[in-house]
Amino acid sequence: DAGVIQSPRHEVTEMGQEVTLRCKPISGHNSLFWYRQTMMRGLELLIYFNNNVPIDDSGMPEDRFSAKMPNASFSTLKIQPSEPRDSAVYFCASSADRVGAETQYFGPGTRLLVL
Amino acid sequence: DQQVKQNSPSLSVQEGRISILNCDYTNSMFDYFLWYKKYPAEGPTFLISISSIKDKNEDGRFTVFLNKSAKHLSLHIVPSQPGDSAVYFCAASEGTYKYIFGTGTRLKVLA
């Protein structure tokens, strides 16, 4: 199994630019999560999809952030416009949501630097 | 307010000895707990979990202990190996998808 795939692995952009992060979950998993890791706040959940439908986006910091899951094998997290405080590592995770809290499997992350 | 706390940011242990990583939580509704290991430039990797109906779960060299009355869990690694050097995160859930992560403990196993 290839695991969760994220691209790009690193992204450097200038303030005001649009950033798009991509994720391919593990095949057969029907839950997908986007997390952000910062020194100040640690690892925090941004948004949760189940069967391609956004279920909980309460962690999305503000309207500049949006996420989509057009099909079971692809999701994007977009930041428009980006700001320096968005610099962080963004992880995508997936799980096979059968009952309750199934184990989440993380991708390698995208390290974002906004100048 | 941090619901899951890992009060030791770092820990050093000699190879072959026991590593004990600790985690405290405040929410008594948490009923599922996990430990993840993270190497630099990689995502967190699931290590071991425990449900609140148990007080111990073992998987090879890794054992997680849960003390519900103290709201405390710990991860024991015996024997510790240099390859275990990583950041360890504990996470807790109320039986749902919403994991609350601790801030991590960096373990260094000295050869």
Which chain A residues are closer than 8 Å to B43 by Cβ? Answer: 4, 91, 93, 106-109
A86 φ, ψ (degrees, to nearest 5): -80, -10
For B67, list phi and psi in degrees, rounded to 5: -115, 95
What the block records as the tokens of B91 is 């996470």
B65–chain A Cβ distance below 8 A for any pair:
no
Contacts of B97 in chain A (CB under 8 A): 31, 33, 48, 50, 55-56, 95, 97, 101-102, 104
Residue A87 C-alpha, separation from nearest chain B C-alpha, in angstroms: 15
Short-list B11, B77, B62, B41, CA closest to A10: B41
Residue of A nearest to B37 (CA): A106
Per-residue pLDDT of chain A (115 residues; tens, 9 = 90+): 689 999 999 999 999 999 999 999 999 999 999 999 998 888 999 999 999 999 999 999 889 999 999 999 999 999 999 999 999 999 999 998 765 567 899 999 999 999 9
